[in-house]
Structure 1
């Protein structure tokens, strides 16, 4: 077959390629051949505790802290309750992360929660989780971050009103296209962008927190009250969607747990340090915002940090939106950079198109996976409502992660003899599952349109699974058509399977 000839011609060039640049901070770009003479690539356990902490912190802190304050306050009504939601979201994420620590040291396979569901509930449920992540969570999150980037870039030009929706969407598309080119051209370029823009993100937060603490020392506490608190249960659940969105990424270390030194000791330590650090940073950043901005000003702005900078920095107010724009630009890059690992894991199980595992033979980049992510993200940009998109992501994310956490008590019952180097108290998954039910079922009533769309997108996985995976005896014409389509895409993008992905 022509596909095989393409693979054979470039197999010697693929020996150093596995996941095509996936996983920021995980060292994917410097894996070494195993030395067994077969050209196989293995992941080395070379990440320290500090590396693990930076992976989690770098994965969590993105655009959420600059977007979500408005969404949280919108549904809580009062500043103090909003701060409570921020702390509770951090604790909720930490409990989930500890549940993943037991699962990750018990089931050491690529794909993290996808692998846990595959092991516990079988291929159908695992495919639904894969579908949710690849078709909803990651591209929708990328659309949110790209829109945040465009809002912060445009806000200085529209200080007294919201930027035009079409302009914001067009700039978001440009952001995605530029970073798509970067990630398709050179993985080193992509990692360089990630490093530089991560520093910008941390610097922006440091400036906000430092100035906020100074304002607090001057007694600027008039907005810290429980006045106008919204006591409706449905509103509280929706406030957690925005809060928890900002904590997305706490489970990313599990995707590269095989590269972590002494994971039994270092994984729970990395979780404790990073989740505590992020919760404190998020709380202090919100406190800083409310030392200067009234609740009405926060609710009236999608770009909270811009409004804060306008009040604090005067003629230097432009610096904060520039740093935030750089931060969100880097966050879009990070999603593109890390997504290939999940595509790769799914394709190795035969649950994703083979083309998504392939690497460009000259640039050594995961071009097909990057292009698919970019196209899906731009589809979500048909909506410029950031908070509606957060509801899509929130419902799908916490429903699927709840199923992953359910694996823990289920395996305790079904396979009690499995080795469990880390054994968390059973109350952890129980509390997490109850909280997950709260933040997924209640918003079905409070926000039926967004959750309805989310359910439809999840259910769309069923016919896809039945036709492309469960149906084994496909007619010859179907197999030839799909094979021919794959070969056409291979020739267009000049991509082949890495040697370790070959069947």
Structure 2
């Protein structure tokens, strides 16, 4: 082989290999940008509704931030020990095997990501339409259609009216934790992070601390201006806040919120393609979902599937019901991921652990996860029941399409022909072939 052909081959390999180009600052922006989307503009109402008082609501926001930090700290050990794309999917695959990994993949792809996108897009539509309907709620169907197009009043700081039911307190964390969702997104692209042993825990610590401070201070600002009754009655808390303080400039708030949520929708679409790719590499997702659009070099099939699934969730216009769906599924599966830390300490003590967390942190996280997933089954049986059914739907899919290896020849031919047909329609090619485009 000539020297020129060797150089050409090395260039091709360089084009298709993930390179560690992300710095610490890049990592911080990934986490902060992933977390701050729609949650802070939606969740204050849900948290206050379930807690009853402002002071307890603020405590939920602080505890949710600390809870996220502990989970992210545990992920730092997993991410530097198992350096594979897919984050918790890869951790569960290595620890508990393909079945539980597929269940996690199913939860994320079929429930968490599209449901989160539906919530963010609904928030976008509510804030865009609210200035046109200042005295009433925006029309429900119009809000859904727009979401589809998008794809020092200190007397309020009291413990009065605090709800004493443990079930309500547990449900309040679903809304609070939803706003912090995204702290684990840097783990999905850890292969592209420079010096992950140093930068991953630093990025997590700085980002989670920054977001927690911003969220708590934002809620303090809301409650210094709005009464608890006004927060509970508001469809768009930030708009009500702006109307009281900014007067003729109040229109700027829904514009900025709309920009934030619109960007978050794009962020969910972009990061989801990594998960589809990781699942397909393990043979647990259709090959088509790893393919790239030939002209735009984007994962068009994955984006389309995510968009279609999100539209399905838009048939439910109750944002807080959607948060309960995604909350139960998210924190149950992340709890299983954190369980990988003590499990691997026991089963595989020989693994290299550049970062080694004290076992008290994963144990505390797992106990808290049990609380916020088990207790709401009593308070919100319908939403959690639906969430459980969606999770269990992964079982027949796994055994029918993944575990069953000796499929009939005619079935495989149909799958192959369908894949080729969709490739032609969408103009997509296998990821490895993009180097020649």
Q: CA-to-partner distance for each residue in 1:6-60, whole Å, 9 max, x for gaps? A: xxxxxxxxxxxxxxxxxxxxxxxxxxx9936656622222222111111111111
Q: Does residue 72 of structure 2 align to residue 139 of structure 1?
A: no
Give the equivalent residue in structure 2 for 1:71: 46
Please state whether the residue corresponding to 1:285 is helix, strand or coil: helix
CA 1:433 to 1:475, structure 2 compared with 1: closer, same or farther past 3 Å?
same
Please state whether the residue corresponding to 1:35 is helix, strand or coil: helix
Give the equivalent residue in structure 2 for 1:402: 335
Pairing partner for 1:349 from 282, 307, 314? 282
Give the equivalent residue in structure 1 for 2:427: 494
Q: CA-to-partner distance for each residue in 1:282-328, whole Å, 9 max, x for gaps? A: 00000000010000000001200000011111111111111111111
Please state whether the residue corresponding to 1:222 is helix, strand or coil: helix
Pairing partner for 1:231 from 164, 167, 175? 164
Pairing partner for 2:371 from 429, 435, 438? 438
Give the equivalent residue in structure 1 for 2:320: 387
Inter-partner Cα distance in structure 2 for 1:223 and 1:38? 61
Q: Does residue 137 of structure 2 align to residue 162 of structure 1?
A: yes
Inter-partner Cα distance in structure 2 for 1:467 and 1:299? 46
Inter-partner Cα distance in structure 1 for 2:105 and 2:209? 29
Task: Work out whether residues 75 and 236 of structure 1, in 8 Å CA contact, stay in contact via their aligned partners in 2.
Answer: yes
Give the equivalent residue in structure 1 for 2:183: 250
Inter-partner Cα distance in structure 2 for 1:309 and 1:85? 24
Give the equivalent residue in structure 2 for 1:271: 204
Inter-partner Cα distance in structure 1 for 2:300 and 2:433? 17
Q: CA-to-partner distance for each residue in 1:349-381, whole Å, 9 max, x for gaps? A: 100000101111122221111100000000000
Task: Work out whether residues 340 and 370 of structure 1, in 8 Å CA contact, stay in contact via their aligned partners in 2.
Answer: yes
Q: CA-to-partner distance for each residue in 1:421-458, whole Å, 9 max, x for gaps? A: 10000000000000000000000110001011100110
When the two structures are superposed, what TM-score results if normalisation uses the length of structure 1?
A: 0.83
C-alpha deviation, 1:406, in angstroms: 0.4
When the two structures are superposed, what TM-score results if normalisation uses the length of structure 2?
A: 0.96
Task: Work out whether residues 40 and 499 of structure 1, in 8 Å CA contact, stay in contact via their aligned partners in 2.
Answer: no
Q: Does residue 413 of structure 2 align to residue 483 of structure 1?
A: no
CA 1:307 to 1:393, structure 2 compared with 1: closer, same or farther past 3 Å?
same
Pairing partner for 1:411 from 334, 338, 344? 344
Counting matched residue pairs gives 428
Give the equivalent residue in structure 1 for 2:4: none
Pairing partner for 2:94 from 105, 108, 119? 119
CA 1:501 to 1:134, structure 2 compared with 1: closer, same or farther past 3 Å?
farther
Please state whether the residue corresponding to 1:281 is helix, strand or coil: helix
C-alpha deviation, 1:501, in angstroms: 9.5
Pairing partner for 1:262 from 183, 186, 195? 195
Inter-partner Cα distance in structure 2 for 1:38 and 1:409? 37
Q: Does residue 359 of structure 2 align to residue 426 of structure 1?
A: yes
Q: Does residue 42 of structure 2 align to residue 109 of structure 1?
A: no
Inter-partner Cα distance in structure 1 for 2:82 and 2:433? 21
Please state whether the residue corresponding to 2:128 is helix, strand or coil: helix
Inter-partner Cα distance in structure 1 for 2:99 and 2:255? 45
Give the equivalent residue in structure 2 for 1:208: none
Inter-partner Cα distance in structure 1 for 2:59 and 2:15? 50
Inter-partner Cα distance in structure 2 for 1:39 and 1:433? 41
Give the equivalent residue in structure 2 for 1:198: none
Pairing partner for 2:390 from 451, 457, 460? 457
Task: Work out whether residues 38 and 261 of structure 2, in 8 Å CA contact, stay in contact via their aligned partners in 1.
Answer: yes
Inter-partner Cα distance in structure 2 for 1:271 and 1:297? 35
Give the equivalent residue in structure 2 for 1:282: 215
Inter-partner Cα distance in structure 1 for 2:186 and 2:14? 27
Inter-partner Cα distance in structure 2 for 1:265 and 1:113? 20
Pairing partner for 1:54 from 23, 26, 29? 29
Task: Work out whether residues 34 and 40 of structure 1, in 8 Å CA contact, stay in contact via their aligned partners in 2.
Answer: no
Task: Work out whether residues 357 and 501 of structure 1, in 8 Å CA contact, stay in contact via their aligned partners in 2.
Answer: no
CA 1:303 to 1:410, structure 2 compared with 1: closer, same or farther past 3 Å?
same
Task: Work out whether residues 67 and 148 of structure 1, in 8 Å CA contact, stay in contact via their aligned partners in 2.
Answer: yes
Inter-partner Cα distance in structure 2 for 1:39 and 1:426? 39
Please state whether the residue corresponding to 1:108 is helix, strand or coil: coil
Inter-partner Cα distance in structure 1 for 2:82 and 2:259? 37
Pairing partner for 1:369 from 297, 302, 306? 302
C-alpha deviation, 1:500, in angstroms: 6.8
> Relative to structure 2, which stretch is displaced further, 465-474 or 158-167?
158-167
Give the equivalent residue in structure 2 for 1:294: 227
Inter-partner Cα distance in structure 1 for 2:416 and 2:64? 46
Q: Does residue 380 of structure 2 align to residue 447 of structure 1?
A: yes
CA 1:87 to 1:157, structure 2 compared with 1: closer, same or farther past 3 Å?
same
Q: CA-to-partner distance for each residue in 1:229-277, whole Å, 9 max, x for gaps? A: 0011000000000000000000011111122222112211111111100
Inter-partner Cα distance in structure 2 for 1:360 and 1:108? 27
